[in-house]
């Protein structure tokens, strides 16, 4: 028995080295596999982690490119903004009361406001809190002179977007805002940083990639304690490209000035030969520098985004009832259809009945028997009722399409643009955009309204500019543009010959010339000297939403070989185009003629 136990102990002792060997081998194998995993399979990942612990990047913000007018005047640039900040977590409490009162007296800031910002920053564990945003020169100098006695405060600087003329051409230029967290997830691959600026509207948005520039920075090496060891290299930030507009600041300033006494409206000034936009103004407008503020007061924010006046709406690209400025479309429909040739004479009356309504002449008398030129000159309603009713809605629609209506203009800032509405039979059959198909048929009253630009016609000031440019330039459809282009602006690539008889175009031009010589637009010549011959058209349209009148005036000069076209529009301004819109256009013609 004792011998058996002794044998078992001997066997057990003999096995111990084997067990130890197996255990050691397994342990070694595990270590080897871990080393292979670390050194080979995950080498790049761990190297990156190591570098990130050892290497720091100090980013260098790019300067956004400038936006210039046609003559090189700066409409948008960048400037350094200085702000007074505190770091709530790092402030020495024993210095706080003294520093707070010293700053309050030095810069005339309510000490309770400073305390509240400090307390809020502590409670929300913010690393940095802004006490004063965008310091002026005097404030900056005062602080720097007393900086050694204000240990709790610091000056922070950053580049912000700056608009020297505040609201000038605001809807054209557009504004920038910091990117959102959601945008950052997508845009970080394109070099954007958190809180980086991005163009939201207008030229700032359309040419974002061209204007924004590229971040740079300095790469430095630090030790295990995070202290600087050496610089590993500097990559300078790349400034964004400047962009030059076709806008003429002198004309733009006048366009915005003449809108100041209007409730709302728009001005477009364009070269009818190629579509270069010399001015685009919309009222009400807004201060572009609002978007460069770190802190945006709630009252200012609501006035901009929640106001019923809608200052962010670009009325130059929004659709309205055109009234009598539409009559050139009805006239061309009559001529092109062959039903009313150029020598047509029609009797005008006090009113003409269509359906259940008698549609009146605007003077309640009529103008006797007249032709196209006189009908445009006196802006007869009953002349164009007869033309429109006979040729039909679809003929008017087809001509309007040739003139650029019911489609986007092609201008760069198309995100602000409304396509408008020109009705036709198919539109009525399909429910007019709100009813059931087959339940909203075309009625006689529709064609009468359409003939003089009411109810079933909604167009933008820009579409009106394009249509009248085709009359001014002899029958070419131009694409309006805001940024300078190279090349021949009269080439076939930049404008399209429209399929309308040139003789009919010339007849309309002659009629528009008579409007200014002795018709509803004659006041354009009053008080103006040395002005080339002008052709134009007044318009008054009842707003189908409010019942208030819109005032329109369109003109181009010289009448032959025109160089300038103006569309003046006053929204909900009763009194007529000749009273409210024409004087606005006149002021623009004065400035253009003087500068020319």
- Render pLDDT for 432-457 as a digit per residue (tens, 0 to 9): 888 888 888 888 888 999 999 998 99
Q: Which residues pair with 199 in a beta bridge?
A: 176
Per-domain residue ranges for the chain?
Answer: 49-64+174-245, 81-159, 249-595
pLDDT band at 493 (very low <50, low <70, confident <90, very high): low
Angle at 248 between CA 245 and CA 254, to 5 degrees: 140
- Cα–Cα distances in angstroms (integers) from residue 202 to residues 48, 216, 294, 341, 390, in the given order: 41, 27, 21, 44, 43
- Render pLDDT for 421-430 as a digit per residue (tens, 0 to 9): 999 888 888 8
pLDDT of residue 227: 59
- CA 44 centroid distance within chain: 45
- pLDDT average, residue stretch 336-346: 96
User: What value does the mean pLDDT of the chain take?
Assistant: 88
Q: What is the DSSP letter of 233?
A: E
DSSP H helices, 403-520, are: 425-429, 444-451, 461-472, 502-518
CATH, domain 249-595, list 3.40.50.300, 3.90.1170.50, 3.40.640.10, 3.40.710.10: 3.40.710.10
- Render pLDDT for 233-268 as a digit per residue (tens, 0 to 9): 777 878 999 999 999 999 999 999 999 999 999 999
Question: Which range among 12-21, 25-34, 83-92, 345-354 shows the weakest confidence by mean pLDDT?
Answer: 12-21
Query: Residue 271 pLDDT more than 60?
Result: yes
pLDDT of residue 578: 93
Share of the chain above pLDDT 90, in %: 55
d(CA 92, CA 73): 49
Q: Which residues pair with 593 in a beta bridge?
A: none
- pLDDT average, residue stretch 188-197: 85
- Cα–Cα distances in angstroms (integers) from residue 387 to residues 132, 338, 391, 509, in the given order: 67, 11, 6, 18
Query: Residue 6 pLDDT more than 60?
Result: no
Assigned fold of 49-64+174-245 = Penicillin-binding protein 2a (Domain 2) (3.90.1310)
Query: Residue 54 pLDDT more than 80?
Result: no
Query: Residue 489 pLDDT more than 50?
Result: no
- pLDDT average, residue stretch 32-58: 59
At which residue do the structure tokens 């933008």 appear?
A: 460
pLDDT band at 49 (very low <50, low <70, confident <90, very high): very low
Minimal CA–CA distance to 173: which of 91, 56, 74? 74
Element spanning 40, H or E: none
Q: What is the DSSP letter of 531?
A: P
Range among 14-23, 84-93, 521-530 with highest mean pLDDT value: 521-530
d(CA 377, CA 517): 9
At which residue do the structure tokens 């181009």 appear?
A: 556
Q: Answer whether 248's CB lies under 8 Å from 565's CB.
A: no
Q: 0.85 exceeded by the pTM? A: no
At which residue do the structure tokens 């006689």 appear?
A: 444
Same CATH topology for 49-64+174-245 and 249-595: the answer is: no
- Render pLDDT for 103-112 as a digit per residue (tens, 0 to 9): 889 988 898 9
- Cα–Cα distances in angstroms (integers) from residue 252 to residues 9, 169, 377, 489, 550, in the given order: 107, 7, 30, 22, 22
Q: What b-and-e string marks burial along 122-133, b requiring 16 or more CB atoms within 10 Å of the CB?
A: eeeeeeebbbbe
Q: What angle, rounded to 10 degrees, do the helices at 327-337 and 381-391 form?
A: 50
d(CA 252, CA 245): 12
- Cα–Cα distances in angstroms (integers) from residue 290 to residues 189, 254, 272, 294, in the given order: 29, 23, 34, 9
Angle at 452 between CA 448 and CA 455, to 5 degrees: 70
What is the C-alpha end-to-end distance of the chain, expressed in Å?
129
Angle at 453 between CA 450 and CA 457, to 5 degrees: 70
- CA 256 centroid distance within chain: 17
Strand order across the beta sheet in which 55-60 lies = 55-60, 216-222, 228-235
d(CA 87, CA 157): 15
Q: Which residues pair with 82 in a beta bridge?
A: 157
């Amino acid at each position: 028995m004792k011998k058996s136990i002794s044998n078992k102990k001997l066997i057990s002792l003999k096995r111990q080295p084997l067990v130890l060997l197996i255990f050691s081998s397994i342990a070694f194998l595990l270590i080897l596999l871990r080393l292979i995993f670390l050194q080979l399979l995950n080498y790049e990942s761990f190297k990156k982690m190591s570098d990130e612990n050892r290497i720091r990047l100090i980013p260098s913000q790019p300067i956004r490119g400038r936006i210039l007018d046609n003559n090189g005047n700066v409409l948008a640039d960048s400037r350094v903004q200085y702000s007074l900040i505190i770091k709530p977590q790092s402030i020495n409490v024993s210095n706080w009361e003294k520093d707070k009162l010293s700053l309050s007296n030095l810069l005339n800031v309510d000490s309770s406001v400073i305390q509240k910002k400090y307390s809020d920053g502590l409670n929300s564990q913010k690393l940095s809190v802004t006490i004063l945003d965008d310091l002026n020169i005097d404030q900056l100098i005062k602080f720097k002179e007393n900086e050694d006695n204000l240990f709790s405060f610091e000056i922070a600087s950053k580049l912000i977007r700056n608009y020297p003329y505040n609201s000038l051409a605001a809807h054209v230029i557009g504004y920038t805002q910091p990117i959102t967290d959601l945008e950052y997830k997508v845009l970080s691959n394109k070099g954007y940083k958190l809180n980086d600026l991005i163009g939201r509207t207008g030229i700032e948005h359309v040419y974002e990639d061209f204007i924004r520039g590229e971040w740079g920075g300095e790469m430095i090496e630090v030790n295990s304690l995070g202290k600087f060891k050496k610089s590993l290299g500097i990559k300078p930030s790349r400034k964004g490209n400047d962009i030059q507009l076709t806008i003429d600041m002198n004309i733009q300033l006048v366009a915005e000035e003449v809108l100041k006494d209007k409730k709302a409206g728009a001005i477009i000034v364009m070269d009818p030969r190629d579509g270069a936009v010399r001015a685009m103004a919309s009222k009400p407008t807004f201060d572009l520098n609002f978007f460069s503020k770190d802190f945006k007061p709630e009252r200012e924010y609501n006035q901009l985004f929640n106001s019923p006046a809608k200052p962010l709406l670009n009325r130059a690209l929004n659709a309205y009832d055109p009234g009598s400025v539409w009559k050139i479309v009805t006239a061309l429909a009559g001529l092109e259809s062959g039903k009313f040739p150029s020598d047509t004479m029609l009797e005008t009356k006090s009113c003409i009945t269509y359906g259940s309504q008698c549609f009146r002449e605007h003077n309640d008398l009529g103008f006797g028997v007249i032709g196209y030129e006189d009908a445009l000159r006196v802006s007869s309603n009953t002349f164009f009722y007869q033309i429109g009713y006979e040729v039909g809605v679809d003929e008017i629609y087809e001509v309007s399409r040739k003139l650029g209506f019911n489609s986007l203009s092609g201008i760069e800032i198309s995100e602000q643009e409304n396509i408008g509405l020109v009705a036709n039979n198919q539109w009525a059959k399909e429910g007019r955009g709100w009813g059931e198909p087959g339940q909203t048929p075309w009625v006689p009253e529709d064609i009468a309204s359409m003939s003089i630009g009411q109810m079933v016609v909604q167009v933008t000031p820009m579409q009106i500019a394009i249509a009248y440019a085709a009359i001014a330039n002899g029958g070419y459809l131009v694409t309006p543009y805001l940024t300078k282009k190279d090349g021949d602006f009269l080439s076939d690539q930049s404008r399209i010959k429209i399929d309308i008889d040139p003789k009919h175009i010339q007849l309309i031009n002659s009629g528009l010339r008579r409007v200014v010589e002795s018709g509803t637009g004659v006041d354009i010549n009053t008080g103006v000297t040395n002005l080339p011959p002008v052709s134009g058209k007044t318009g008054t349209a009842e707003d189908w939403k409010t019942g208030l009148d819109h005032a329109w005036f369109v003109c181009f000069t010289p009448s032959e070989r025109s160089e300038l076209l103006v569309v003046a529009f006053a929204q909900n301004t009763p009194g007529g185009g000749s009273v409210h819109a024409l004087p606005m256009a006149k002021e623009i013609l004065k400035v253009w003629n003087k500068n020319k």
